[in-house]
Amino acid sequence: MTYEIDDGQEEVNSVVAPDTPLPKDLLEHLEERSQQRKDVIDTTKKLSRFFVGWSLNSTGFFIAKFLLVTGGGVNYWLAVSLCFSVSSVGSLAGLTGFRVNYNSDGLEVDNMQNIFKSAAGLATAGAVTWLATKDYQYFETLTRETAVQINQDIQTIEKQNPQLDPWLSIGIAALLVLGAFSIIFKGGRD
C-alpha cells in the first residue's frame, strides 16, 4: 500500500512551546557563576598584562646592564635605546584600539583610556632606562674624579720629592694591582 501525499496539502501544525521558567534560586546561582567567571577572566587579564609588562621592563633593564658592564661607554647609547625600546613594547601595543576621527560634528576620539595607559607605559620605560643607566653614570663620574685626585696627589708628591718620580709610579701601580688581586681572590672564599 502506497500513500501519495501532496506537499501543498500538508499543513504545519507544530507550535513551539514556551520554555519553562527556571526557579529563582537557580537563576541567582547562574548569575553569580557568570559574574564569578567574568571576575576570573578580568583578574587573569590584569595579571597577564602585569607579568608581560614586568618581564619586558626587566628584560630591557638587564640588557642595558649587560651592555654597560661588557662595553662601558662604547655601548652607552645602544644600552639606552635597547632598554627603552624593549621596555616600551607593552605600552605601544595598547594603542591598537585608539582612533581619532574628524567629521562634521567635530573631533571624535575612541578608546582614550588606551592613550593614557600607553603614556604611563612610556613613562615607566623611561624610568626603567634611567634606573638602568644611572649607576653607570655615577661610577663613571666617580672613576674620573678618583683618577683626577690620584693624578693630583702624584704631582704633589713629585714636586716635593722629584727623585722618586719613576719609583712612585711603579709603586702606585703595584699597589693598585695587588689591591685588585686581593679583592678578587678574597671574594672567592666567601
Q: What is the pLDDT of residues 38-70, one digit of tens each?
A: 999 999 988 888 888 888 889 999 998 888 888
**Is residue 10 included in any domain, yes or no?**
no
**Is residue 11 included in any domain, yes or no?**
no
Can you list the residues of the chain whose pLDDT is less than 70?
1-14, 94-99, 110-114, 162-165, 187-190
Instruction: Annotate 11-67 with DSSP letters as a single string.
Output: -----PPPPPPPPHHHHHHHHHHHHHHHHHHHHHHHHHHHHHHHHHHHHHHHHHHHH
**Is residue 12 included in any domain, yes or no?**
no
**Is residue 74 included in any domain, yes or no?**
yes
**Is residue 77 included in any domain, yes or no?**
yes
**Is residue 32 included in any domain, yes or no?**
yes
Considering its fold, how many domains does the chain have in total? 1
pLDDT of residue 40: 92
pLDDT of residue 184: 77
Determine whether 79 is exposed, middle or buried from the number of CB atoms within 10 Å of its CB (0-12, 13-18, 19+).
buried
pLDDT of residue 33: 92
Closest by alpha carbon to 153, among 142, 164, 139? 164
**Is residue 162 included in any domain, yes or no?**
yes
Q: How far apart are CA 174 and CA 187, in angstroms?
A: 20
pLDDT of residue 14: 66
pLDDT of residue 2: 65
pLDDT of residue 9: 56
**Is residue 170 included in any domain, yes or no?**
yes
Q: What residues make up the domain containing 78?
A: 24-189
pLDDT of residue 130: 92
pLDDT of residue 39: 93
pLDDT of residue 127: 92
